[in-house]
Amino acid sequence: MSLLDSTPSLTPASQLYAALVDALPDPILVVVGFERDDLTGRRYILANAAARELLRITAQEGMLLSAVRDPGVLETVDKALFDQADAEGVYETTGAQSRNLRVRARPLGIGAGGARMALLTFHDQTEARRVERTRVDFLANASHELRTPLASLSGFIETLRGHARDDVAARDKFLGIMQAQADRMARLIADLTSLSRIELDEHVAPRGVVDLVLLVGEVVEAAAPLGAQRRVKLDWRPCAAGQVFVRGERDQIVQVVQNLLDNAIKYSPDGAAVRIELTSDLSDLAAAASKEGVPRLSLVAPDPSPETYAALRVVDLGPGIARQNLPRLSERFYRVDGQKSGARSGTGLGLAIVKHIMNRHRGGLVVASAEGEGSTFTAYFPTATAPEGVVKAS
């Protein structure tokens, strides 16, 4: 008979409490002690399953020192036992997956034979701290990225009000720079807003159906002026199928293609070509690997459900990316060292946006690159059937 089948009146209260304590997800211990200087006299008389797992003990009771050796935790216990005060501390586990736990001790009064008792609880805050650290880093990065163009704007305003006041040539030049800096700030804010919007509905599946051939064609066409400006040829190779329908939200897929294309153009050498290829009806993604011998890394793993995928591949002949930098590409604000300034400007948000969009679309994102070998970014989108009213071209 399970606990749930039985009513409390049929189960002795002590059994019910024991089961309850054991089922608590947070580790708890009940500790007793007699004299402050009698360290070996401190014992735990109850340790729930979570506590036994955390402290790697098998017995439900035993000497406290055999379960806990951390001086901070022992001090916390002593405050509750001997000062009759609530106390708090932190417990860090060591090892490959170190955890950070908040420890709380509360006095439980005096028991039989004058034993002082305390309740010791642990609460795992590793994940909460990681999220907090990410938030702090993000704010620091975002404000740093905004501060740089803002400082430049302030500097030029000062110059224009001061010694360049009557210098027409200098004024034109400075206004041009100021415009570029203001544009940069606007772009950064647009990217940040877009990122937070995408993250907000990342768990809501996209509804639309999009013809990828048409969409990519439009993005490539729109990127032509940028390509011409950088003297990079855009070699667009739609697949033979004519139309390729994928499930997704048009605007977000446009963002994916734009960002991959923008990077490929940005990192291409003068006069080189960027190849944009589309393949449909892929079912075995592993077999669809690109260049042999070049390290590849999946930045977003596609949903493994047995669907077919359309693959959009953007291939450039740029400087490539060293293997050790591949895993960090889709982190917010991450830029490979040495690319912090110059013509290859950017904030490092593009691939973070791409990653979240691909996640939402249950698609995949794979990068294959090596230094001096160029880069290939492949986005995999789950295929959809043609929307009603559309006759699929053969």
Ligand X SMILES: Nc1ncnc2c1ncn2[C@@H]1O[C@H](COP(=O)(O)OP(=O)(O)OP(=O)(O)O)[C@@H](O)[C@H]1O
Nearest to 290 by CA among 193, 355, 207, 367: 367
Chain center to CA of 188:
19
363 binds, among ligand X, Mg ion, none (CB under 5 to 8 A by kind): none
Residue type at 130 in one-letter notation: R
Which residue number, 61 or 331, has a Cβ lying nearer to ligand X? 331
Give the chain's largest Cα–Cα span: 95
Nearer to ligand X, 122 or 377 (CB): 377
Is position 346 an interface residue for ligand X (rule: CB under 6 A)? yes
Residue 308: DSSP 8-state: -
In angstroms, what is the minimal distance from the CB of 339 to ligand X?
5
Nearer to ligand X, 336 or 357 (CB): 336
Cβ closest to ligand X, residue 68 vs residue 299:
299
The three-class DSSP label of residue 238 is coil
Asked if 121 contacts 27 with a C-beta cutoff of 8 angstroms, the reply is: yes
Taking the least distance from each CB to ligand X, the nearer of 105 and 367 is 367
Long-range CB contact pairs, 143-150, < 8 A, 24+: 145/188, 145/333, 145/347, 146/185, 146/188, 146/189, 149/181, 149/182, 149/184, 149/185, 150/181, 150/185
Q: How far is the CB of 337 from Mg ion (least distance, A)?
A: 16
Q: Is 263 in the site for Mg ion (CB under 5 A)?
A: yes
For strands 273-282 and 233-237, give the pairing.
Answer: parallel
Residue of 380, 366, 382, 360 lying closest to 311 (CA atoms): 380
Q: Which is nearer to ligand X, 61 or 373 (CB)?
A: 373
Q: How many residues bind ligand X (CB under 6 A)?
A: 22
Shorter beta-carbon distance to ligand X: residue 46 or 185: 185
Which three-class secondary structure state does DSSP give residue 244? coil
Q: What is the DSSP letter of 383?
A: B
In the region spanning residues 246 to 265, those forming contacts with ligand X, defined by CB under 6 A, are: 259, 263-264
Q: Using CB under 5 A, which of 149, 350, 364, 374 touches Mg ion?
A: 350
Q: In one letter, which amino acid is 254? A: V
Binding ligand X (rule: CB under 6 A), the pick from 255, 347, 378, 383 is 347
Choice from 234, 278, 329, 365 touching ligand X (CB under 6 A): 329
| Closest distance to ligand X from the beta carbon of 330 (Å) | 7
Shortest distance, position 329 Cβ to Mg ion, whole Å: 10
Contact status: 347 vs Mg ion (CB under 5 A): no
User: Starting at the edge strand that comes first in sequence, how are the strands of the sheet with 100-110 ordered?
Assistant: 62-63, 43-47, 28-33, 116-124, 100-110, 87-92
Min dist CB 248 to ligand X, Å, is 20
Is position 350 an interface residue for ligand X (rule: CB under 6 A)? yes
- Of 316, 359, 360, 380, the one binding ligand X (CB under 6 A) is 316
Interior CA angle at 180 toward 178 and 185, to 5°? 95
Task: Verify binding: residue 318, Mg ion, rule CB under 5 A.
Answer: no
Encoding tokens for residue 61? 């009771």
Phi, psi for 347 (deg, rounded to 5)? -115, -10
Nearest C-alpha neighbor of 102 from the set 92, 111, 113:
92
Closer Cβ to ligand X, 191 or 249, answer by number = 191
Contacts with ligand X in 188-247 (CB under 6 A)? 191
Is 60 a binding residue for ligand X by CB under 6 A? The answer is no
| 384: contact with ligand X by CB under 6 A | no
- The residue ranges that bind Mg ion (CB under 5 A) are 263, 346, 350
- The residue ranges that bind ligand X (CB under 6 A) are 191, 259, 263-264, 267, 316, 318-319, 321, 329, 334-336, 339, 346-352, 375
